[in-house]
Amino acid sequence: MRNSRIVGVGHFVPDQVVSNQDLEKLMDTSNDWIIERTGISERRFFDHTKDTCANMGARATKMALERAHVDASEIDLIVFATITPDYMFPGSGVLMQRELGLDKKTIAAIDIRNACSGFVYGLSIADQFIKTGMYKTVVVVGAEIQSSALEFSDRQRHVSVIFGDGAGAAILQASDVAGKGILSTHMHADGTFAEELYVRDPGSSRKREERLTADMLDEVSIKAHMNGNLVFKHAVVRFMEVIAEALQANGKTKEDIDLLVPHQANLRITNFIQQKLQLDESKVYSNIQRYGNTTAASIPIALSEAWAEGKIKENDLVCLAAFGSGFTWASALIQW
Ligand code: COA
């Protein structure tokens, strides 16, 4: 049976570091509140003169390719996960294709917008294409520029302290080595809660003649609406379920996990999962302290840093788990 293996991971984060103290100057918040409720100390914000969603994805991909000793020309498919694309359309995947010089090769680019679950959804899509034999080398990217959509005001402070910018990438390749690579992926969604974490405007379904109107600029409707308490309650349940599903599907137990890399939503959520699973702290990766929640980029940035720190080694059992807007949630179990 053909498997897909992650042969390289990479990431890119913008240079600009924004601390909680910086945010204190913009709205009624405090370093203590942010750290206590989210675990975040700082995040990165993009530089509009040089960083775009697609080129941050390209820079993360280049690092992943280099570490994998794979040439960009070998890529057969791009899967690009983001909810903050460069344009309304086309998606950022084609822009990254062009940036990597792969436009002449006309390889396919798929854009997916499953928010914080986007990277794991993307991994699942890439895995299916490799397992069926259609493609040999696929890059999965998660990239986000959240900062340009945040509102630094008291009415939006519960949202704007959480999010940050960045990109991460994984190169997947076909392999015939049995029992190694992506063992399984698991995806779920529940549209009942679509409006509990969403940006409404400019959408196409508001029974308005025009999609974008001048008065929207003052409305919160063009900013993220987040029912934080509800999101939190669902997240902790779904994370636990989808991790258990991945372990069960492969006849593994939580004791077999070498590293759990959860979506970096909130340190309290991660700590809850770690304690419920009774995993040692060293087996659960966290970097939300330095980057905030980077939505689709959070898992690949974490994977890339964990790998570079030597926390992911050949043959390790790595579990990825995500939850986010939709609600959507997903997991992947990988024998590295
Ligand atoms: N600074 C200071 N105070 C703030 C604040 C901020 N940035 N944001 C909200 N508050 C205040 C509220 O106004 C409220 O004040 P009140 O008690 O006087 O009414 C108080 O803090 C508590 O607000 P609440 O919303 O109940 O806090 P919380 O403990 O639920 O924490 C979140 C808020 C957003 C941190 C938390 O709900 C959360 O992390 N949810 C999950 C979000 C998430 O993971 N989203 C991404 C999904 S992938």
- Each residue of 285-318: pLDDT tens digit? 999 999 999 999 999 999 999 999 999 999 999 9
pLDDT for 221: 86
| Ligand 1 pocket check for 161: Cβ under 6 Å | yes
Q: Is the pLDDT of residue 172 over 80?
A: yes
- Residue closest via CA to ligand 1's atom 15 equals 158
Res. 97: pLDDT tops 80: yes
pTM value?
0.97
**Cα 33 from chain centre:** 25
Domains of the chain are 3-178 (3.40.47.10), 182-335 (3.40.47.10)
For 232, list phi and psi in degrees, rounded to 5: -60, -50
Q: Which of 60, 55, 73, 59 is nearest to 136 (CA)?
A: 73
**Residue 153 beta carbon below 6 angstroms from any ligand 1 atom:** no
If we measure between CA atoms, which residue out of 313, 282, 288 comes closest to residue 301? 288
Sort 27 into a burial class: Cβ within 10 Å, 0-12 / 13-18 / 19+: middle
What is the model's pLDDT at position 118? 98
Strands (E), 67-120: 77-81, 108-112
Probe target for ligand 1 pocket from 158, 263, 323, 328, with the most ligand atoms within 8 Å of CB:
158
CA end-to-end span of the chain, whole Å?
17
Q: Which atom of ligand 1 is nearest to the CA of 265?
A: 44
Q: What is the largest CA-CA distance in the chain?
A: 58
Residue 258: what pLDDT?
98
CA of 226 to the centre of ligand 1 (A): 10
Q: What is the pLDDT of residue 205?
A: 80
Banded pLDDT at 177 (limits 50, 70, 90)? very high
Percent of residues, the chain, with pLDDT higher than 90: 91
Which of 37, 270, 291, 295 has most ligand 1 atoms within 8 Å of its beta carbon, as the pocket-test mutant? 37
Q: Dump pLDDT digits (tens) for 203-251.
A: 888 767 788 888 888 778 888 999 999 999 999 999 999 999 999 999 9
